A and B are shown apart, each in its own frame.
Chain A
Amino acid sequence: MIPDTFFSQISRTFVYRLVLFGCILIPVATISYKLYWLNFPISDLIPTVSYQMDVSMQVDGHGGDINTSTFLPISDSRQTIQNESNNSGVFSLSLLSEGINRRAQWNADSVQGRHTIRYSYSVLGKHVRYEIPGDLSIPASYPRELDKYLKEESGIQVNDPLIEKKINYLFPEGKPNIFDGVYTIHKHLQNEFNNKNFSGFTDALTALKLGEASCNGKGRLFVALARKLNLPARLVGGFVMEPGTKRTSHQWVEIYINGYWVPFDTINNHFAELPAHYLTLYYGDMVLFKHTSNVNFQYFFKTLKRLVPQQDAQSKLEATPFNLTNLYSLFERIGISQNLLKIILMIPFGALVTVIFRNVIGLETFGTFLPALIAAASRETGLLWGLIGFVIIILTASWIRKFLDWIHLLHSPKMAIMLTMVVSLMLLMTVAGVNAGLFELAHVTLFPIAILAITAERFSILEAEQGWAKVSKITLSTLFVICACYVVMDSLFLQSLVLAFPEVLLILVGLNLWLGKWVGMRLSELFRFRKLIFNPEVKA
């Protein structure tokens, strides 16, 4: 035992203060260096929307070969496609480049029974908007590679007299400049043509004759009218990403203006602009899905919307001594994804939340780190299923422990059985979750197994010693603290912050150092000793 002499007491306080200041000062210094000297914009830390797209194609095989294909999106200045994954079972995937489009084709021989092909990817979209100068006149000629965007196609009857008649009707004073041209066509199609919810093929002339059309009919008519004005134009096939499941794709048009392909959508009235939730799949007058006939082909798009840290936030630091992107790619190489890394980096925040609840507010919880770890694991299951899974596992495991106690076993073998039971329970819940279609529940396998076994043990001891009232109270506070941890750990701002500035973790150490010396009243103690505290006379 070290004697607590005056000197050692002084030096202990000194070292404590030194470490505490270091923990605050170092991160503050490096972060301000990055922010001011390296010009790292803090606005990059605000999270952005990402869409998780899931394309499912279902076929019924009758023994023959089956081919099916669709277009896949390509990353460009407006959209970023990531995390592509193919799940096609017996079907083999080949990716083909068709001009500027990317086609995915799945083939399988002698297919029997029902099969589902699933292809998924995540999309980061940007909202774009173009300003068209009012004084640009329509060029007389274009480079040769744009020729095909001026020609007649089977559904885009540029040279039909009706198209010419429409142009003369829209522009009685002769050839307009570019802005007036596209503006007049856009307004006319948007306002004078009814939107029709019809999923079949409509060519430009039909749309024109009917005075109403779905997206593809309006699109073809727009392209035909633009080409007639000598403006290169093309159809764009894509998808409007909204959370949920749907079968309808969408089409809009792009017109080549002053070196840019400018988008127009006359169904949803987007003039020279495209919102961030529009996903481009292909260019030209194409069919989105092709497949062998008589296979009862079904498809649908499933869209999940979520917030993610901004991509650029880390890459902006690339050219600096704080080259974190390299560090993260190092983790990526050994199989730790940035997503997993993010969860790991958030656990200290959860631990701090738990410490605050225990030492400042005065809620009793099972274990110091259990709430943070359950909250981390609940990121995959969702908070509700995380809490339900936790309660089911703890209750069941504590019943098993009661039984093991009753038959009398030594501690270590007993704990090993508990661990096995927790593992089996998780697998059971996963199977049950998948079978019941509750895929969120299936992710309980990410729970901290050993800690759950220990918690179940604590739970049943407490129940035996102090009764259900006490154990329920602690369980409820634990669930409450798990929720609090989840909310904090789910904060995208904090996630982006810690990914861009991992030194923030030192600040957490500093806060814990400070809390570790905090001798104030816990909130629960203010209530417990309320009579002593709020009595008129001060007791001594």
Chain B
Amino acid sequence: MKKIRKLISTFQKMRQAQNHVLSMNRRNLEYVYPNNSRCNFPIADNKLETKAYLRSLSIPMPVTHRVYDSFFSLRKVESDLQNLNDFVIKPAQGSGGGGILVIVENKGSELITAGGRIVTLQNLRTHMSDVIFGIYSNGLSDQVIVESRLVQHKDMDILSPSGLTDLRVIVHQNTPVMAMLRIPTSLSDGKANLHQGAMGAGIDMENGNISHAIHNNVEITAHIDSGHHLIGRQVPYWAESIAIAETVAYAVPLKYLGIDIALTESGPVLLELNVRPGIAIQNANDLGLYAALRSKAGAA
């Protein structure tokens, strides 16, 4: 009898969960499809288009030094890059941080990556042609972006010396709804992807403090590598970051978005947009996104 009662209460909780946790099916059907028209997807999917679309708004973004879109144009890489001491190589249509190469020092024939690895110019050229051949963008041919390297805020550098921590803000109908920090770890190989071993830290939308954190879907309170305490830590430039998210949300015709922002010493910088932002942010915040979306929509 007790077991049956427990089963019923479990079932009721599952039903109630539908009212606060956002499922993948609901995200697609009720948020992604109705809010984002397919023809506008490239604004988010292609970083060059994102930059072009937002150019007039004076939103801080990494400076584009060069764009390569053909094998042929890669012949001039050496002379093109000789005046750049540090830079980042990115696929225009990459996702999940794939294909990103961060160069911290350019010694001409040899270059040093953020991870301390030495790559030759030939290695670099091979990597760039891999990007053009679409290895990081589902087999479609792609473009290589060479852009300025961001130096992250010292508060963030303490948390993730091995890679760039980014702030993910979910915006719906121009309103920021939920946010998290994605903090690379030694396990995630410098990448800010939760399913590759990065930590996710939920942010209190009111004050920009870390309220809850997870690693591999397990709750944590401190950094798994360094032991730095996470909970209560303030996100630098929180108000400015939210302001950027709102400005972008108003500007683009995509009304359900994940906006990724890097926190640098001089202020927040827009990294990229995502039309299909993941739902793991709920575990990072220990909050249901569906309830948050509805309460924000009700308040607006």
Contacts and interface: CB of A to CB of B under 8 A. Distances in A.
A532 B282 contact: yes
Contacts of A520: 18, 23, 25-26
Contact of A533 (B21, B37, B133, B280): B21
A165 interface: no
A529 B195 CA distance: 14
Nearest to B136: A465
Tier of interface size on chain B: 35 or more
B135 A461 contact: yes
A526 B136 contact: no
Contacts of B295: 540
Interface in A420-467: 457, 461, 464-466
A532 B10 contact: no
Those 3 A-B pairs whose CB atoms lie nearest each other, nearest first: A519-B26, A533-B17, A521-B23
B239 interface: no
Contact of B282 (A461, A519, A529, A534): A529
Interface in A384-408: 405, 408
Interface string A451-488: 00000010001001110001000000000000000000
A466 B282 CA distance: 22
B134 A538 contact: no
Nearest to B23: A521
Interface string A327-364: 00000000000000000000000000000000100100
Given A465-B96, A528-B217, A532-B283, A408 B134 contact: no
Contact of A521 (B14, B37, B196, B286): B14
A532 B288 contact: yes
Contacts of B129: 408
A531 B288 contact: no
Interface of A: 1, 4, 359, 362, 405, 408, 410-411, 457, 461, 464-466, 470, 516-522, 525-526, 528-529, 531-534, 538-540
A521 B18 contact: yes
A534 B10 CA distance: 7
B29 interface: yes
B158 interface: no
B205 interface: no
A1 B23 contact: no
B24 A465 contact: no
B133 A528 contact: no
Interface string B130-156: 100111101111000000000000000
Interface in B164-218: 195-196, 217
A526 B13 CA distance: 10
B56 interface: no
A532 B133 contact: no
Contacts of B59: none
Interface in B245-260: none
A461 B138 contact: yes
Contacts of A526: 14, 17
A457 B14 CA distance: 38
Nearest to A360: B25
Nearest to A534: B13
Contacts of B10: 534
Interface string B22-45: 011110011000100101000000
26 contacts: A1-B37, A411-B140, A461-B138, A465-B96, A517-B29, A518-B25, A519-B26, A519-B30, A520-B18, A520-B25, A525-B21, A525-B23, A526-B14, A526-B17, A528-B280, A528-B283, A529-B21, A531-B286, A532-B286, A532-B288, A533-B17, A533-B21, A539-B20, A539-B286, A540-B287, A540-B288
B291 interface: yes
B231 to A, nearest CB: 16
Contacts of B17: 521, 526, 529, 532-533
A457 B139 contact: yes
B98 interface: yes
A532 B20 CA distance: 9
A283 to B, nearest CB: 66
Nearest to A540: B291
B69 interface: no
B16 A464 contact: no
B133 A519 contact: no
A1 B39 contact: yes
A411 B219 contact: no
Contacts of A457: 139
Chain B CB within 10 Å, residue with most, of A470, A534, A540 = A540
Contacts of B141: 410-411
Contacts of A532: 17, 20-21, 282-283, 286-288
Given A411-B141, A539-B288, A540-B291, A359 B135 contact: no
Contact of B24 (A410, A466, A522, A539): A522
B24 A362 contact: yes
Contacts of B133: 405, 408, 410-411
